[in-house]
Amino acid sequence: MRLSERFVDNCILINSSSETKEAILNELVDTLCSAYKLDHRDEIFEAIWTREQSRSTGIGCGLAVPHAKIDYVDRMCMVAATIEKGLDFQSFDGEPVYLLILIVSPGNTVGPHLKALSSVSRLLADGNVRKDLIASKTPAEFLTILRAAEDKFL
């Protein structure tokens, strides 16, 4: 699955100034709802937040992949954010998070959601890709780096 094809206009936040896990998740959900023209913002946030409270999606190496399956969406939606200074996300390795990719999928799907999570893991296992995405200065640069990584690893 090519993640770059899932991103729509205005869905990549470069160098967010959020300072807490809750703040960045709110910012990501706001961006998601705006970019994809989604209603039910509070319900979407609650699903993401509830998932996050059960187990951190900070998977290590500066990366977090908050995700949920939600009845209020009719297709997979993704947004991303970079945080240059890092953010405590209660990650498994105890390190700050610098890159987040939020994925929401319809509640009745399984395969595409798992494929997206697998693609994120495969692409961002490469430290140079993570570093380059975090250093992106614009959403266009972020997508160019992501596409190059997909060409190389997928």
Catalytic residue among 6, 21, 67, 130: 67
Return the DSSP state at 100.
Answer: E
Say how many CA atoms lie within 13 Å of 85 toward its Cβ. 5
Instruction: State both tokens at 78.
Output: 């993704």
CATH number for region 3-153: 3.40.930.10
DSSP state of 96: P
> What pLDDT was estimated at residue 53?
93
pLDDT tens readout for residues 33-53: 999 999 999 999 999 999 999
24-41 average pLDDT score: 97
The residue length of the chain stands at 154
Known catalytic residue: 113? no
Residue 14 has pLDDT above 80, yes or no: yes
Tokens of 131: 């570093």
Q: What is the CA radius of gyration of the chain?
A: 14
Q: How far is CA 54 from the centre of its chain?
A: 18
